[in-house]
Amino acid sequence: MRRPTYQQVTQLTYITQILKEALRLWPPAPAYGIAPLQDETIGGKYKLKKNTFVTVLVMALHRDPSVWGPNPDAFDPENFSREAEAKRPVNAWKPFGNGQRACIGRGFAMHEAALAIGMILQRFKLIDVNRYQMQLKETLTIKPDGFKIKVRPRADKDRGAFAGRAAAAAAASNAAAPRARTRPGHNTPLLVLYGSNLGTAEELATRVADLAEVNGFATKLGAARRLRRQAAGAGRRSDLLRLLQWRSRPITPRSSSNGWTATCRRMRSPRCVTRCSAAATATGPRPISRCRG
């Protein structure tokens, strides 16, 4: 059975509509709080002063008859057809929270859920033997209580004639597809995904690129392993980033009341300071990558 591709998952539009409708009726996070940045009047009659905390009940928002029609409690995936979504106010559906506190993984969660449901339905029949009626279990979020189903493997004939035609078409397209070109051994793009309060992604990517260019990837990987061991020994994960930052800076001598010293944070003993200071004085700035401590 073929693994679905990203493009195939995005084509499961009706499964996505079902997911959105389920989240409309039973959002896991039932409420969120907001506050106006200035004095506001809501709906022409509700006056709110600046910074007044307001709790929005998401289940009530998702069942507003003026938005969802005269029967908002009915399960109807057509509420999320492309035409229906275009006509509806943007903020009428909020199962993932709101504003800066909204779920950062919303897109990934929806894509992963559609992928999982599509693969389950492709392989299994789902049987509700107990004719389950929704009972809520309330913790930090709300969820169904005591919900159980039975599953049976889905035979090839149960998938219908369409599955057979789709498999034949896929096999034909694979046979006719040209052989993929060999990946080049150089000039391969490097994507750096980085999040921290210790600097920007652009700064880190620049440092990584500079180190890779000077030392080569093999040397860089060896240095990264040594730095990880040093950071683990210090007991602080952020030491790894700091050491990478220091490693990319040259040692420059500076004058003090005690003579020449160097701006190297790896110096942990007077002997190290004296040695690097002497080298910096004699030969000029010395890269930290050559410092042996």
Burial class (CB in 10 A: 0-12, 13-18, 19+), 195: exposed
What mean pLDDT value characterizes the chain? Answer: 74
Residue (of 104, 100, 90) closest to 35 by Cα position: 100
What is the structure's pLDDT at 265?
45
Q: How far apart are CA 117 and CA 48, in angstroms?
A: 43
- Cβ–Cβ under 8 Å, residues 94 and 33: no
- Cβ–Cβ under 8 Å, residues 67 and 92: yes
Q: How far apart are CA 172 and CA 177, in angstroms?
A: 9
State the Cα angle at 269 between 264 and 273, rounded to 5°.
Answer: 45
Burial class (CB in 10 A: 0-12, 13-18, 19+), 259: exposed
pLDDT in tens, 99-139: 888 888 999 999 999 999 999 988 999 999 999 998 989 88
What is the structure's pLDDT at 140?
84
What is the structure's pLDDT at 4?
82
Q: Which of 86-90, 249-253, 276-280 has the lowest mean pLDDT?
A: 249-253
What is the structure's pLDDT at 1?
64
pLDDT in tens, 47-77: 999 999 999 999 999 999 999 999 999 999 9
What is the structure's pLDDT at 210?
67
pLDDT of 251 > 50? The answer is no
Residue (of 60, 197, 25, 292) closest to 279 by Cα position: 292
What is the structure's pLDDT at 43?
86
What is the structure's pLDDT at 6?
85
Q: Where are the domains of the chain?
A: 6-124, 190-248, 250-293
- If you count them, how many residues does the chain have? 293
Structure tokens at 245: 């930052």
Site of tokens 């300071």: 273
What is the structure's pLDDT at 203?
63
Q: How far apart are CA 211 and CA 50, in angstroms?
A: 51
241 versus 52: the higher-pLDDT residue is: 52
Burial class (CB in 10 A: 0-12, 13-18, 19+), 59: middle
Q: What is the largest CA-CA distance in the chain?
A: 87
Structure tokens at 81: 């057809």
- Cβ–Cβ under 8 Å, residues 256 and 280: no
pTM score: 0.55
What is the structure's pLDDT at 93?
95
The residues pairing with 34 across neighbouring beta strands, listed in sequence order, are 54
pLDDT of 190 > 90? The answer is no
The H or E element containing residue 153 is: strand 150-153
**Percent of the chain's residues with pLDDT above 70:** 55
- Average pLDDT of 219-248? 52
